[in-house]
Amino acid sequence: MNREYHRWYSPRLGREMQLLVFGHAGMPVLVFPTSQGRFYEFEDRGMIAATSWRYDSGAIQAYCVDSVDSESWYNRHVHPRHRVERHLAYEAYLLDEVLPLIRVKNSSRALGATGCSFGAYHAVNFGLRHPDLVSHVVSMSGAFDMQPFLDGYYDNDCYFQCPVHFLPNMNDPWYLDRYRGMRIVLGAGEHDICLGETRRLSGMLHAKSVPHCLDVWGEGAVHDWPLWQRMAQKYFA
């Protein structure tokens, strides 16, 4: 399997950022790590190995990005406004630095976004904010309300980084038409701590007539890597 390591100084974030690429062709997929996770997490946790044949066959190509969660949403040492600003800088890094790399390396017009747990928030949020860029979203055990990270602070940027806040009020046909053309999968286990939030987002998508798949796994499935490996084998088959 093709495996590439990339590292460069990010002008949007003001520090070096790293990522891993797996596969040589196929649909590119932005892979977000779990809360405060690193770019090598998907590989270390067996997620790449779980679907290795898809990379070997040239069906998908994963771009496993690093996070700045510890500098943004999880940084309790700064004012919530600074947390949001740091996340906005991270979004700019993805748009202005990572996506150009993907477009240079991969000619596919499609783009997926996926992640587990907090990575699922990133994938869903990025996809719903940029439906002209993202064609597929796969959320594995995600939660999408950012208020617990804001200590009571709230502004327009907070609102637009919180899918369960902006989606119910979304009436712009430009966005809704593109949402309806996306492939959206929301997976969670029957005993998953994020099952309620996953169902909540599903209800909001349903209310907006946005086709999607809500997939609740049985057999005692919980919020952990063995479930997500099985999800990857199903959703990326």
Domain boundaries, the chain: 3-235
Residue 208 DSSP class? T
How confident is the model over 75-124, as pLDDT tens digits? 999 999 999 999 999 999 999 999 999 999 999 999 999 999 999 999 99
- What are the backbone dihedrals phi and psi of residue 19, each rounded to the nearest 5 degrees, phi first? -155, 160
- For residue 207, count other CB atoms closer than 10 A to its CB: 10
CATH of the domain spanning 3-235: 3.40.50.1820
Report pTM. 0.97
Exposure pattern of 119-137 as b/e (b: 16+ CB <10 Å)? bbbbbbbbbbbbbebbbbb
- For the chain, residues with pLDDT lower than 70 are none
Return the pLDDT at 125.
98
Residues 166 and 103: their CA atoms lie apart, in Å, by 29
- What are the backbone dihedrals phi and psi of residue 183, each rounded to the nearest 5 degrees, phi first? -100, 115
Return the pLDDT at 46.
97
Residues 16 and 39: their CA atoms lie apart, in Å, by 13
Return the pLDDT at 74.
98
- What are the backbone dihedrals phi and psi of residue 153, each rounded to the nearest 5 degrees, phi first? -80, 150
Return the pLDDT at 237.
81
